[in-house]
Structure 1
Amino acid sequence: MMSNSALYDRDILRLAASLYRWPLDDAFERIVEKRSPVCGSTIRLGFDRDGAVRISRIGLDVQACALGQASAAILAGNALGLSQEEAELRAQHCRDLLEGNECDVTELWPDMILLARAAPYPARHGAIMLPYEALSVAFADTPTEAENA
Structure 2
Amino acid sequence: MTGVATAVLLLSTAAQAQLKPEEMVETRQAGYQFMSWNMGKIKAQVVDGEESYDQAKVAAAANAIAAIANSGMGSLYSPDTTTAQLGDKTRLKPEFFQNLDEAGRIGREFNTAANQLAKVAAEGDQAAIKKAFGDVGGSCKSCHDKFRAE
Q: What is the TM-score of this pair, normalised by structure 2?
A: 0.29
Asked which structure has the greater CA Rg, the reply is 2
Determine which structure has the larger helix proportion and give its number.
2
Determine which structure has the larger strand proportion and give its number.
1
